Amino acid sequence: MSCHGWVLYLVDRKKVVIVGIPGVGKTSLVTRIVELLNGEKKTASVHSYGTVMMDEAEKNNISDRDNLRYLPVSEQKEIQKQAAKKISELADDVVFIDTHAFISTREGFYPGLPYHVIQILEPTHLIAISARPEEIYNRRMKDDTRNRDKISIEAIKKELAVQDAMLSSCSVLSGSPMKVILNNEGKIDEAAQNVIEAIGV
């Protein structure tokens, strides 16, 4: 393959950051998108940023997420960078980076994708999965696999607003387009097609 052809191949590859607060149906939606893309003979994969971070942390003898949180910030940043580097080297046609736009802490909202991570990942697209607050509320109430704090429609609206603000900042910093996709109840295929169109595959 010529150098020119190789450059084109790299340009065609997609690195898609996909975020969604609990209850938007992100996991089911991303699974469906990958099925559709694989059916079109595209190689597509999903990588949870948190899981890749834990894999990197284990190489440094850190065995669980709680221990990771108690590391000095400089060490946490280093593990974040290692995870971003690992993901950035993946060679699928479409790599979905499943992460959180923010992490809620006592100090406030911490960005899920700080600038040093964005610089390494170099995402081509930023997608926020959303849904009507009432639908998110109902999904969370039905989900007994997670330990949920008190849930309210108002709190969900705030989470959606913070998510959009955080992802907008990522768009400015990376120069990549951001799109909010609604995952309405019973319309997963429609949402999946909207994501596929947004990323231009």
For the stretch 58-86, pLDDT in tens is 988 888 777 777 778 788 889 999 999 99
- Domain borders along the chain are 14-198
User: pLDDT at position 148, please?
Assistant: 57
CB 121 within 8 A of CB 15: yes
List the structure tokens of 106: 């006592």
DSSP 85-122: HHHHT--SSEEEEEE-SEEEETTEEEESS-HHHHHHH-
C-alpha–C-alpha distance, residues 53 and 6, integer Å = 29
In this prediction, residue 93 carries a pLDDT of: 93
Please report which confidence band the pLDDT of residue 147 belongs to, taking 50, 70 and 90 as the band edges.
low
Question: Distance (Å, rounded) from C-alpha 51 to C-alpha 33?
Answer: 20
pTM of the model: 0.86
CB burial class (10 A; 0-12, 13-18, 19+) of residue 180?
Answer: middle
State the architecture of 14-198 in CATH terms.
3-Layer(aba) Sandwich (3.40)
How many whole angstroms separate alpha carbon 121 and alpha carbon 81?
Answer: 9
Q: What angle do CA 72, 105, 167 make, to 5 degrees?
A: 100
Q: Give the lowest-confidence range in 59-68, 104-113, 117-126, 151-160.
A: 59-68
Of the candidates 26, 41, 201, the residue with the CA atom closest to the CA atom of residue 130: 26
Give yes or no for residue 170 having a pLDDT over 90. yes
Write out pLDDT tens, residues 17-63: 999 999 999 999 999 999 999 998 889 999 999 999 999 999 888 88
CA proximity to 43, closest of 78, 83, 14: 14
The whole-chain average pLDDT of the chain stands at: 88
Q: What is the pLDDT of residue 120?
A: 96
Q: At what angle do helices 49-59 and 73-88 cross, to 10 degrees?
A: 110
